[in-house]
Structure 1
Amino acid sequence: MTKKALDPERKAESDKLKAIFNSKKRDLGLTQEKLAHALDMNQSSVSHYLNGVNPLNAPVAAEFSKILDVPVEDFSPRLAQQMIEMMGFVTDLRAKASVKRLVDDDFRDITSNASELADIDEWDEKSPLRDDEVEVPFLREVELAAGTGRFVIQEDVGESLRFKKKNLRENNVQFGHAKCVTVRGNSMMPVLRDGATVGVDLGKTALGDIIDGDLYAINHNGQLRVKQLFRLPQGIRLRSFNRDDHPDEEYSFSQMQDEQIAILGHVFWWGMYAR
Protein backbone atom coordinates (compact mmCIF):
# COMPACT_ATOMS: atom_id res chain seq x y z
CA MET A 1 0.00 0.00 0.00
CA THR A 2 1.48 3.35 -1.07
CA LYS A 3 1.82 5.99 1.61
CA LYS A 4 -0.16 9.18 1.22
CA ALA A 5 2.01 12.02 -0.08
CA LEU A 6 2.91 14.74 2.43
CA ASP A 7 1.18 18.08 2.19
CA PRO A 8 3.26 20.87 0.57
CA GLU A 9 4.31 22.45 3.89
CA ARG A 10 5.71 19.25 5.36
CA LYS A 11 7.33 18.24 2.07
CA ALA A 12 9.04 21.66 1.97
CA GLU A 13 10.38 21.06 5.50
CA SER A 14 11.95 17.78 4.39
CA ASP A 15 13.42 19.44 1.30
CA LYS A 16 14.98 22.22 3.39
CA LEU A 17 16.41 19.71 5.87
CA LYS A 18 17.88 17.62 3.06
CA ALA A 19 19.47 20.72 1.51
CA ILE A 20 21.02 21.64 4.87
CA PHE A 21 22.34 18.09 5.30
CA ASN A 22 23.84 18.08 1.81
CA SER A 23 25.48 21.46 2.35
CA LYS A 24 27.00 20.53 5.72
CA LYS A 25 27.75 16.81 5.47
CA ARG A 26 31.28 17.26 4.15
CA ASP A 27 32.28 19.76 6.85
CA LEU A 28 30.67 17.60 9.54
CA GLY A 29 32.05 14.35 8.13
CA LEU A 30 28.57 12.86 7.80
CA THR A 31 27.00 10.29 5.54
CA GLN A 32 23.41 9.09 5.80
CA GLU A 33 24.74 6.01 7.56
CA LYS A 34 26.66 8.08 10.11
CA LEU A 35 23.69 10.40 10.52
CA ALA A 36 21.43 7.40 11.19
CA HIS A 37 23.88 6.14 13.82
CA ALA A 38 23.96 9.57 15.52
CA LEU A 39 20.15 9.70 15.48
CA ASP A 40 19.95 6.12 16.79
CA MET A 41 17.62 5.02 13.99
CA ASN A 42 18.01 2.96 10.83
CA GLN A 43 19.22 4.48 7.57
CA SER A 44 15.88 3.87 5.89
CA SER A 45 14.10 6.05 8.45
CA VAL A 46 16.62 8.87 7.93
CA SER A 47 16.11 8.64 4.17
CA HIS A 48 12.33 8.80 4.64
CA TYR A 49 12.62 12.00 6.68
CA LEU A 50 15.05 13.65 4.24
CA ASN A 51 13.06 12.68 1.16
CA GLY A 52 9.63 13.60 2.43
CA VAL A 53 8.23 10.09 2.81
CA ASN A 54 7.63 10.51 6.56
CA PRO A 55 6.74 13.90 8.06
CA LEU A 56 9.14 15.49 10.52
CA ASN A 57 8.02 15.73 14.14
CA ALA A 58 9.32 17.87 16.99
CA PRO A 59 11.53 15.25 18.75
CA VAL A 60 13.18 14.15 15.50
CA ALA A 61 13.61 17.75 14.33
CA ALA A 62 15.39 18.56 17.60
CA GLU A 63 17.84 15.69 17.04
CA PHE A 64 18.54 16.76 13.45
CA SER A 65 19.05 20.32 14.68
CA LYS A 66 21.59 19.24 17.28
CA ILE A 67 23.61 17.02 14.95
CA LEU A 68 23.59 19.42 11.98
CA ASP A 69 24.18 22.43 14.26
CA VAL A 70 21.33 24.51 12.85
CA PRO A 71 18.22 25.89 14.55
CA VAL A 72 15.00 24.00 13.85
CA GLU A 73 13.55 27.26 12.54
CA ASP A 74 15.91 27.06 9.54
CA PHE A 75 13.98 24.12 8.12
CA SER A 76 10.67 24.17 10.01
CA PRO A 77 9.32 27.33 11.65
CA ARG A 78 6.18 25.30 12.37
CA LEU A 79 8.01 22.76 14.51
CA ALA A 80 10.19 25.44 16.10
CA GLN A 81 7.03 27.14 17.34
CA GLN A 82 5.60 23.80 18.43
CA MET A 83 8.72 23.10 20.48
CA ILE A 84 8.42 26.47 22.23
CA GLU A 85 4.85 25.57 23.12
CA MET A 86 5.89 22.14 24.37
CA MET A 87 8.46 23.68 26.70
CA GLY A 88 5.72 25.24 28.74
CA PHE A 89 3.99 28.08 26.93
CA VAL A 90 0.94 26.05 25.98
CA THR A 91 -2.15 26.28 28.15
CA ASP A 92 -3.50 22.88 29.16
CA LEU A 93 -6.91 22.27 27.65
CA ARG A 94 -7.96 20.02 30.49
CA ALA A 95 -9.69 21.55 33.51
CA LYS A 96 -11.48 20.21 36.56
CA ALA A 97 -14.92 21.78 36.42
CA SER A 98 -14.76 24.35 33.64
CA VAL A 99 -12.62 24.06 30.52
CA LYS A 100 -11.45 26.99 28.41
CA ARG A 101 -12.34 26.88 24.72
CA LEU A 102 -8.76 27.24 23.45
CA VAL A 103 -8.45 24.52 20.83
CA ASP A 104 -5.87 24.88 18.04
CA ASP A 105 -7.20 27.82 16.00
CA ASP A 106 -7.96 29.94 19.05
CA PHE A 107 -4.48 29.33 20.45
CA ARG A 108 -2.86 30.21 17.14
CA ASP A 109 -4.83 33.47 17.17
CA ILE A 110 -3.28 34.30 20.54
CA THR A 111 0.32 33.37 19.76
CA SER A 112 0.32 35.06 16.33
CA ASN A 113 -0.48 38.42 17.90
CA ALA A 114 0.15 38.54 21.63
CA SER A 115 -1.12 42.12 21.87
CA GLU A 116 -4.60 41.15 20.66
CA LEU A 117 -5.88 38.36 22.89
CA ALA A 118 -8.92 36.50 21.66
CA ASP A 119 -11.96 36.20 23.91
CA ILE A 120 -12.20 32.96 25.86
CA ASP A 121 -15.53 31.18 26.14
CA GLU A 122 -15.93 28.94 29.16
CA TRP A 123 -17.82 25.67 29.03
CA ASP A 124 -18.56 22.75 31.28
CA GLU A 125 -20.21 19.35 30.89
CA LYS A 126 -23.62 21.00 30.62
CA SER A 127 -22.67 23.30 27.73
CA PRO A 128 -24.07 22.12 24.37
CA LEU A 129 -21.61 21.19 21.62
CA ARG A 130 -21.20 23.64 18.78
CA ASP A 131 -21.84 22.36 15.27
CA ASP A 132 -18.11 22.56 14.46
CA GLU A 133 -16.99 20.67 17.60
CA VAL A 134 -16.63 17.10 18.77
CA GLU A 135 -16.29 15.93 22.37
CA VAL A 136 -13.29 13.65 22.96
CA PRO A 137 -13.34 11.42 26.08
CA PHE A 138 -10.36 10.41 28.21
CA LEU A 139 -8.91 6.94 28.68
CA ARG A 140 -7.84 5.83 32.15
CA GLU A 141 -6.47 2.85 34.03
CA VAL A 142 -9.14 0.99 35.99
CA GLU A 143 -8.32 -1.65 38.62
CA LEU A 144 -10.05 -4.94 37.85
CA ALA A 145 -10.57 -6.04 41.43
CA ALA A 146 -9.44 -4.78 44.82
CA GLY A 147 -6.05 -6.07 45.79
CA THR A 148 -5.15 -7.78 42.50
CA GLY A 149 -2.94 -4.97 41.23
CA ARG A 150 -4.20 -5.60 37.69
CA PHE A 151 -5.59 -2.82 35.53
CA VAL A 152 -7.46 -2.45 32.27
CA ILE A 153 -7.76 0.70 30.16
CA GLN A 154 -11.27 2.02 29.79
CA GLU A 155 -13.02 5.17 28.68
CA ASP A 156 -13.59 7.74 31.44
CA VAL A 157 -17.17 8.90 31.00
CA GLY A 158 -16.65 11.73 33.45
CA GLU A 159 -13.96 13.71 31.59
CA SER A 160 -13.64 15.03 28.06
CA LEU A 161 -12.21 17.79 25.87
CA ARG A 162 -13.69 19.54 22.86
CA PHE A 163 -11.86 19.77 19.55
CA LYS A 164 -12.79 21.47 16.31
CA LYS A 165 -13.89 18.98 13.70
CA LYS A 166 -11.85 20.83 11.09
CA ASN A 167 -8.62 20.31 13.01
CA LEU A 168 -9.24 16.60 13.47
CA ARG A 169 -9.94 16.26 9.75
CA GLU A 170 -6.74 18.14 8.90
CA ASN A 171 -4.80 15.63 11.02
CA ASN A 172 -6.61 12.67 9.40
CA VAL A 173 -8.24 11.69 12.70
CA GLN A 174 -11.73 10.21 12.53
CA PHE A 175 -13.93 11.70 15.23
CA GLY A 176 -14.77 8.34 16.79
CA HIS A 177 -11.08 7.38 16.98
CA ALA A 178 -9.99 10.43 19.01
CA LYS A 179 -9.36 9.92 22.73
CA CYS A 180 -7.36 11.81 25.35
CA VAL A 181 -4.78 10.45 27.79
CA THR A 182 -3.06 11.95 30.83
CA VAL A 183 0.72 11.50 31.02
CA ARG A 184 2.03 10.47 34.44
CA GLY A 185 5.58 10.55 35.79
CA ASN A 186 8.80 12.22 34.62
CA SER A 187 9.82 9.84 31.85
CA MET A 188 8.77 12.24 29.06
CA MET A 189 10.28 15.37 30.58
CA PRO A 190 10.99 18.06 29.48
CA VAL A 191 8.62 17.73 26.51
CA LEU A 192 5.66 16.29 28.41
CA ARG A 193 5.38 17.06 32.11
CA ASP A 194 3.56 14.97 34.68
CA GLY A 195 -0.14 15.70 34.13
CA ALA A 196 0.17 16.71 30.47
CA THR A 197 -2.74 15.79 28.22
CA VAL A 198 -2.30 14.14 24.82
CA GLY A 199 -4.79 13.42 22.04
CA VAL A 200 -4.56 9.90 20.61
CA ASP A 201 -5.77 8.56 17.27
CA LEU A 202 -7.01 5.03 18.01
CA GLY A 203 -7.18 4.31 14.29
CA LYS A 204 -3.40 3.78 14.06
CA THR A 205 -2.56 0.69 16.08
CA ALA A 206 -0.67 -1.60 13.69
CA LEU A 207 3.10 -2.04 13.73
CA GLY A 208 3.07 -0.96 10.10
CA ASP A 209 1.52 2.37 11.17
CA ILE A 210 4.55 3.27 13.31
CA ILE A 211 6.59 6.27 12.18
CA ASP A 212 9.95 6.02 13.94
CA GLY A 213 10.30 8.67 16.64
CA ASP A 214 6.63 9.65 16.80
CA LEU A 215 4.70 9.46 20.07
CA TYR A 216 2.23 6.66 20.72
CA ALA A 217 -0.05 5.64 23.58
CA ILE A 218 0.58 2.05 24.68
CA ASN A 219 -1.30 -0.47 26.78
CA HIS A 220 1.42 -2.33 28.72
CA ASN A 221 -0.38 -5.06 30.64
CA GLY A 222 -3.05 -2.59 31.73
CA GLN A 223 -0.64 0.31 32.28
CA LEU A 224 -1.25 3.38 30.15
CA ARG A 225 2.07 4.71 28.76
CA VAL A 226 3.11 7.37 26.23
CA LYS A 227 6.44 6.76 24.47
CA GLN A 228 8.41 7.34 21.30
CA LEU A 229 8.23 4.17 19.21
CA PHE A 230 10.77 2.69 16.82
CA ARG A 231 10.35 -0.42 14.71
CA LEU A 232 13.02 -3.08 15.00
CA PRO A 233 13.52 -6.11 12.73
CA GLN A 234 12.19 -8.42 15.45
CA GLY A 235 10.11 -6.10 17.60
CA ILE A 236 9.86 -2.52 18.88
CA ARG A 237 11.82 -0.01 20.95
CA LEU A 238 10.14 2.27 23.51
CA ARG A 239 11.97 5.50 24.23
CA SER A 240 11.48 8.19 26.86
CA PHE A 241 12.64 11.77 26.45
CA ASN A 242 14.20 11.51 29.93
CA ARG A 243 16.67 8.79 28.91
CA ASP A 244 18.96 9.40 31.90
CA ASP A 245 16.36 8.05 34.30
CA HIS A 246 14.44 5.88 31.83
CA PRO A 247 16.64 3.96 29.38
CA ASP A 248 15.31 2.49 26.15
CA GLU A 249 13.17 -0.64 26.37
CA GLU A 250 13.28 -3.22 23.57
CA TYR A 251 10.75 -6.00 23.16
CA SER A 252 10.66 -8.83 20.65
CA PHE A 253 7.31 -9.82 19.14
CA SER A 254 7.07 -12.79 21.53
CA GLN A 255 7.92 -10.54 24.50
CA MET A 256 5.20 -8.13 23.39
CA GLN A 257 2.74 -10.99 23.68
CA ASP A 258 4.10 -12.11 27.05
CA GLU A 259 4.06 -8.53 28.41
CA GLN A 260 0.66 -7.83 26.80
CA ILE A 261 1.96 -4.76 24.97
CA ALA A 262 -0.45 -3.23 22.47
CA ILE A 263 -0.36 0.08 20.60
CA LEU A 264 -3.44 2.11 21.48
CA GLY A 265 -2.83 4.82 18.90
CA HIS A 266 -0.77 7.70 17.52
CA VAL A 267 -0.44 10.95 19.50
CA PHE A 268 -1.67 13.82 17.31
CA TRP A 269 -1.89 16.64 19.90
CA TRP A 270 -0.68 17.57 23.38
CA GLY A 271 -0.97 20.37 25.93
CA MET A 272 0.02 21.12 29.52
CA TYR A 273 0.22 23.80 32.15
CA ALA A 274 3.35 25.96 32.31
CA ARG A 275 4.87 25.37 35.73
Structure 2
Amino acid sequence: MESPSRSDPRQRLLDLASERGVSLAGLSDMIGRNSSYLQQFIRKGSPRKLEESDRRTLAQFFGVPDSELGGVEEISRPVAAPRGGDWIEVPRLTVDASAGPGAVASGEAAFDSFRFSRRWLREHGLAGARLSAITVAGDSMDPILRDGDEILVDTAQRSLRDGIHVVRLGDTLMVKRLASAGPGRAALLSQNLAYPPVEVALAELEIIGRVVWKSGRL
Protein backbone atom coordinates (compact mmCIF):
# COMPACT_ATOMS: atom_id res chain seq x y z
CA MET A 1 0.00 0.00 0.00
CA GLU A 2 1.20 3.51 -0.82
CA SER A 3 2.59 5.47 2.13
CA PRO A 4 0.32 8.27 3.38
CA SER A 5 1.40 11.83 2.59
CA ARG A 6 1.97 14.47 5.24
CA SER A 7 -1.37 16.08 4.33
CA ASP A 8 -3.15 12.81 5.02
CA PRO A 9 -4.84 12.57 8.47
CA ARG A 10 -3.12 9.23 8.98
CA GLN A 11 0.33 10.77 8.56
CA ARG A 12 -0.64 13.70 10.77
CA LEU A 13 -1.71 11.32 13.52
CA LEU A 14 1.54 9.38 13.17
CA ASP A 15 3.57 12.61 13.37
CA LEU A 16 1.68 13.82 16.43
CA ALA A 17 2.15 10.50 18.23
CA SER A 18 5.89 10.60 17.48
CA GLU A 19 6.20 14.23 18.65
CA ARG A 20 4.39 13.50 21.91
CA GLY A 21 6.21 10.19 22.48
CA VAL A 22 3.04 8.13 22.81
CA SER A 23 2.41 4.77 21.17
CA LEU A 24 -0.39 4.02 18.73
CA ALA A 25 -1.40 1.14 21.01
CA GLY A 26 -1.70 3.54 23.95
CA LEU A 27 -3.79 5.96 21.90
CA SER A 28 -6.03 3.10 20.75
CA ASP A 29 -6.51 2.12 24.36
CA MET A 30 -7.34 5.73 25.28
CA ILE A 31 -10.25 5.84 22.80
CA GLY A 32 -11.53 2.44 23.94
CA ARG A 33 -10.37 0.44 20.91
CA ASN A 34 -8.21 -2.68 20.61
CA SER A 35 -4.48 -2.03 20.72
CA SER A 36 -3.94 -2.49 16.96
CA TYR A 37 -6.82 -0.21 15.87
CA LEU A 38 -4.82 2.94 15.02
CA GLN A 39 -1.92 0.90 13.65
CA GLN A 40 -4.32 -0.61 11.10
CA PHE A 41 -5.88 2.78 10.40
CA ILE A 42 -2.47 4.26 9.54
CA ARG A 43 -0.76 1.31 7.85
CA LYS A 44 -3.68 -0.43 6.12
CA GLY A 45 -6.26 2.34 5.78
CA SER A 46 -8.82 0.40 7.79
CA PRO A 47 -11.05 2.04 8.84
CA ARG A 48 -10.87 4.55 6.00
CA LYS A 49 -11.93 7.35 8.34
CA LEU A 50 -11.91 7.79 12.12
CA GLU A 51 -15.27 8.00 13.83
CA GLU A 52 -16.15 11.49 15.00
CA SER A 53 -15.96 10.68 18.72
CA ASP A 54 -12.54 9.02 18.33
CA ARG A 55 -11.25 11.88 16.18
CA ARG A 56 -12.39 14.52 18.66
CA THR A 57 -10.82 12.68 21.59
CA LEU A 58 -7.49 12.42 19.78
CA ALA A 59 -7.60 16.04 18.57
CA GLN A 60 -8.34 17.17 22.12
CA PHE A 61 -5.47 15.09 23.50
CA PHE A 62 -2.98 16.56 21.01
CA GLY A 63 -4.42 20.06 21.16
CA VAL A 64 -4.98 20.33 17.40
CA PRO A 65 -8.05 21.20 15.29
CA ASP A 66 -10.37 18.32 14.52
CA SER A 67 -9.83 19.01 10.81
CA GLU A 68 -6.17 17.89 11.02
CA LEU A 69 -7.33 14.34 11.73
CA GLY A 70 -9.96 14.20 9.00
CA GLY A 71 -12.78 16.36 10.33
CA VAL A 72 -14.53 18.92 8.20
CA GLU A 73 -13.05 22.36 8.73
CA GLU A 74 -15.79 24.75 9.70
CA ILE A 75 -16.09 28.14 8.04
CA SER A 76 -15.21 30.68 10.67
CA ARG A 77 -17.76 33.34 11.38
CA PRO A 78 -18.33 35.88 14.14
CA VAL A 79 -19.76 34.36 17.30
CA ALA A 80 -21.39 36.37 20.03
CA ALA A 81 -19.57 36.27 23.35
CA PRO A 82 -21.34 34.02 25.88
CA ARG A 83 -23.57 35.78 28.38
CA GLY A 84 -23.05 35.34 32.10
CA GLY A 85 -25.61 32.53 32.26
CA ASP A 86 -23.85 30.67 29.47
CA TRP A 87 -20.83 29.83 31.64
CA ILE A 88 -20.33 26.97 34.08
CA GLU A 89 -17.93 27.29 37.00
CA VAL A 90 -16.11 23.99 37.63
CA PRO A 91 -14.49 23.81 41.08
CA ARG A 92 -10.79 23.02 41.41
CA LEU A 93 -10.44 20.81 44.48
CA THR A 94 -7.58 20.72 46.97
CA VAL A 95 -6.97 17.03 46.37
CA ASP A 96 -4.61 14.99 44.20
CA ALA A 97 -5.46 11.71 42.49
CA SER A 98 -2.41 9.51 42.56
CA ALA A 99 -1.05 8.09 39.32
CA GLY A 100 1.59 6.26 41.32
CA PRO A 101 1.69 4.05 44.41
CA GLY A 102 -1.26 5.90 45.99
CA ALA A 103 -1.85 9.05 47.98
CA VAL A 104 -4.11 9.64 50.94
CA ALA A 105 -6.75 12.25 50.20
CA SER A 106 -6.49 15.03 52.73
CA GLY A 107 -9.39 17.23 51.68
CA GLU A 108 -11.81 18.11 48.94
CA ALA A 109 -12.43 21.83 49.42
CA ALA A 110 -12.56 24.06 46.34
CA PHE A 111 -9.80 26.67 46.19
CA ASP A 112 -10.50 28.03 42.71
CA SER A 113 -12.50 27.25 39.57
CA PHE A 114 -12.31 26.82 35.83
CA ARG A 115 -14.91 28.54 33.68
CA PHE A 116 -16.31 26.66 30.68
CA SER A 117 -18.95 27.83 28.24
CA ARG A 118 -22.11 25.74 28.06
CA ARG A 119 -21.59 25.54 24.30
CA TRP A 120 -18.09 24.03 24.77
CA LEU A 121 -19.51 21.48 27.20
CA ARG A 122 -22.26 20.51 24.75
CA GLU A 123 -19.73 20.16 21.92
CA HIS A 124 -17.71 17.74 24.06
CA GLY A 125 -20.72 15.69 25.18
CA LEU A 126 -20.60 17.09 28.72
CA ALA A 127 -23.87 19.04 28.85
CA GLY A 128 -25.27 16.99 31.74
CA ALA A 129 -21.98 16.27 33.49
CA ARG A 130 -21.28 16.95 37.17
CA LEU A 131 -17.71 18.17 36.96
CA SER A 132 -14.85 18.92 39.31
CA ALA A 133 -11.15 19.43 38.61
CA ILE A 134 -8.32 17.69 40.46
CA THR A 135 -4.58 17.28 39.93
CA VAL A 136 -2.75 14.12 38.86
CA ALA A 137 0.20 13.10 41.04
CA GLY A 138 2.69 10.47 39.92
CA ASP A 139 3.63 8.73 36.68
CA SER A 140 1.65 5.48 36.50
CA MET A 141 -0.68 6.89 33.80
CA ASP A 142 2.16 8.42 31.78
CA PRO A 143 2.06 9.40 28.93
CA ILE A 144 -1.75 9.74 28.76
CA LEU A 145 -1.82 11.63 32.08
CA ARG A 146 1.33 13.21 33.45
CA ASP A 147 2.29 14.37 36.92
CA GLY A 148 0.77 17.84 37.43
CA ASP A 149 -1.96 17.54 34.80
CA GLU A 150 -5.39 18.74 35.88
CA ILE A 151 -8.30 16.52 34.95
CA LEU A 152 -12.04 17.02 34.78
CA VAL A 153 -13.95 14.28 36.56
CA ASP A 154 -17.62 13.63 35.78
CA THR A 155 -19.06 12.32 39.05
CA ALA A 156 -22.32 11.46 37.27
CA GLN A 157 -20.48 8.49 35.69
CA ARG A 158 -19.81 6.10 38.55
CA SER A 159 -20.55 2.69 37.05
CA LEU A 160 -17.90 0.09 36.22
CA ARG A 161 -17.05 0.53 32.54
CA ASP A 162 -13.91 0.73 30.47
CA GLY A 163 -12.19 4.09 30.74
CA ILE A 164 -10.00 6.17 33.01
CA HIS A 165 -11.59 6.88 36.38
CA VAL A 166 -10.81 8.41 39.73
CA VAL A 167 -11.39 5.80 42.43
CA ARG A 168 -11.02 5.56 46.18
CA LEU A 169 -9.59 2.43 47.74
CA GLY A 170 -9.69 2.78 51.51
CA ASP A 171 -8.36 6.28 52.15
CA THR A 172 -6.37 6.34 48.92
CA LEU A 173 -7.49 8.32 45.89
CA MET A 174 -6.15 7.07 42.54
CA VAL A 175 -6.61 7.67 38.82
CA LYS A 176 -6.56 4.40 36.89
CA ARG A 177 -8.11 2.68 33.91
CA LEU A 178 -10.87 0.36 35.09
CA ALA A 179 -11.72 -3.03 33.62
CA SER A 180 -13.92 -5.89 34.78
CA ALA A 181 -11.96 -8.77 36.32
CA GLY A 182 -14.88 -11.18 36.64
CA PRO A 183 -18.02 -11.22 38.78
CA GLY A 184 -17.75 -8.73 41.64
CA ARG A 185 -14.16 -7.75 40.83
CA ALA A 186 -12.35 -4.96 39.00
CA ALA A 187 -8.82 -4.45 37.67
CA LEU A 188 -6.99 -1.14 38.19
CA LEU A 189 -4.71 -0.68 35.19
CA SER A 190 -1.84 1.75 34.75
CA GLN A 191 -0.69 3.18 31.42
CA ASN A 192 2.95 2.96 32.53
CA LEU A 193 3.93 -0.70 32.24
CA ALA A 194 6.28 -0.36 35.22
CA TYR A 195 3.14 -0.60 37.38
CA PRO A 196 1.44 -4.02 37.40
CA PRO A 197 -2.37 -4.36 37.35
CA VAL A 198 -4.12 -4.46 40.72
CA GLU A 199 -7.24 -6.60 41.15
CA VAL A 200 -9.77 -5.71 43.87
CA ALA A 201 -13.28 -6.60 44.95
CA LEU A 202 -15.90 -4.10 43.79
CA ALA A 203 -17.15 -3.89 47.35
CA GLU A 204 -13.77 -2.41 48.37
CA LEU A 205 -13.75 0.17 45.58
CA GLU A 206 -15.56 3.50 45.33
CA ILE A 207 -15.76 4.91 41.81
CA ILE A 208 -15.65 8.69 42.19
CA GLY A 209 -16.16 9.50 38.51
CA ARG A 210 -14.91 9.17 34.97
CA VAL A 211 -12.06 11.34 33.65
CA VAL A 212 -13.45 13.23 30.64
CA TRP A 213 -10.83 15.92 29.90
CA LYS A 214 -7.29 16.90 30.82
CA SER A 215 -5.08 19.96 30.70
CA GLY A 216 -1.36 20.21 31.21
CA ARG A 217 1.79 22.07 30.24
CA LEU A 218 3.62 21.12 27.05
**TM-score of the superposition, structure 2-length normalised?**
0.63
Q: CA deviation at 1:174?
A: 3.4
2:202 to 253, 258, 265: 253
| Aligned residue number for residue 210 of structure 1 | 160
CA contact 2:95–2:135 (8 Å) conserved in 1: no
Aligned counterparts of 1:58 and 1:73: Cα–Cα separation in 2:
17
Unaligned residue ranges in structure 2 (runs of 5+): 1-24, 97-102
CA contact 2:141–2:191 (8 Å) conserved in 1: yes
| Aligned residue number for residue 43 of structure 1 | none
Aligned counterparts of 2:177 and 2:104: Cα–Cα separation in 1:
24
| Aligned residue number for residue 58 of structure 2 | 83
Question: Which residues in structure 2 correspond to 1:1-275 (within 5 Å)?
Answer: 58-61=30-33, 63-65=35-37, 69-71=40-42, 74-76=48-50, 78=52, 79-80=54-55, 82-83=57-58, 85-86=60-61, 89-90=62-63, 130-141=84-95, 151-156=105-110, 158-169=111-122, 171-174=125-128, 177-205=130-158, 209-212=159-162, 214-232=163-181, 233-243=183-193, 245-254=194-203, 256=204, 261-274=205-218
Q: CA deviation at 1:90?
A: 3.1
Aligned counterparts of 1:211 and 1:75: Cα–Cα separation in 2:
26
* Percent identity for Structure 1 against Structure 2: 23
Q: CA deviation at 1:138?
A: 1.9
Runs of at least 4 residues of structure 1 off by over 6 A?
A: 107-113
Cα root mean square deviation, aligned: 3.8
AA matched with 2:58? M
More strand by share: 2
Q: CA deviation at 1:152?
A: 4.1
| Aligned residue number for residue 12 of structure 1 | none
Name the SS of the counterpart of 1:70 in structure 2: helix
How big is each residue's C-alpha offset from its partner over 1:159-179, in whole Å with a ceiling of 9 and x where there is no partner? 21111223434525536x211
CA contact 2:105–2:172 (8 Å) conserved in 1: yes
Aligned counterparts of 2:179 and 2:107: Cα–Cα separation in 1:
23
CA contact 1:90–1:273 (8 Å) conserved in 2: no
Q: CA deviation at 1:85?
A: 4.4
Aligned counterparts of 1:172 and 1:73: Cα–Cα separation in 2:
27
CA contact 2:104–2:173 (8 Å) conserved in 1: no
Number of equivalent positions:
174
Unaligned residue ranges in structure 1 (runs of 5+): 1-38, 40-55, 92-106, 122-128, 143-148
CA separation of 1:76/1:109 partners in 2, compared to 1, >3 Å: closer, same or farther? closer
How big is each residue's C-alpha offset from its partner over 1:30-88, in whole Å with a ceiling of 9 and x where there is no partner? xxxxxxxxx9xxxxxxxxxxxxxxxx97342362415x7333874425424533542xx
CA contact 2:40–2:47 (8 Å) conserved in 1: no
**TM-score of the superposition, structure 1-length normalised?**
0.51
Aligned counterparts of 1:264 and 1:173: Cα–Cα separation in 2:
19
Q: Which moved more, 1:193-202 or 1:160-169?
A: 160-169
